[in-house]
A = this chain, B = another copy of it.
Amino acid sequence: MTDEDADALFHALAHAHRRRIVDLVSAQPGITVGRLACYFDVSRIAVMNHLATLERAGLVLSEKAGASRRLYVNTTPIQAIYERWTNAFSGHWASHLLNIKRASEQAAQKEKADE
């Protein structure tokens, strides 16, 4: 996963409307743009912009169906997040919350070793 991919992906998920879109499309695969927009207070255009952001991130796929456009969720990028971050922090994972005092002591020792 490149930096650009990760930027697009996290940015796409960094807005409640877009996360809700993912949930709605996930629950109703093939929903059209217009029907989806009905769930929101903002304009259809705003929803379309959010969809463009989600498509850029690869989270939403679409296909034309006559005059409509059907929407689908792609979970692959979400899986990529999972692999990226759970592997990166597998060492910390067990404790769930970092113990600051212990880490602080370790850091103090490291400082001494560095000089």
Residue A48 interfacial (CB < 8 Å): no
Q: Which of A47-73 contact B (CB under 8 A)?
A: 61, 63, 65, 70, 72-73
Residue A43 interfacial (CB < 8 Å): no
Choice from B29, B82, B85, B96 contacting A98 with Cβ under 8 Å: B29
CA distance A106 to B82 in the complex (A): 28
Contact, CB under 8 Å: B85 / A81: yes
Total identical chains: 2
Chain B residues whose CB sits within 8 angstroms of the CB of A33 once the complex forms: none
Contact, CB under 8 Å: A7 / B15: yes
Number of interface residues of A (CB under 8 A): 46
Residue A39 interfacial (CB < 8 Å): no
CA distance A106 to B73 in the complex (A): 14
Chain B residues whose CB sits within 8 angstroms of the CB of A11 once the complex forms: 10-11, 14
Contact, CB under 8 Å: A89 / B96: no
Contact, CB under 8 Å: A104 / B63: yes
Least distance between A31 CB and chain B CB atoms (Å):
7
Contact, CB under 8 Å: A30 / B89: no
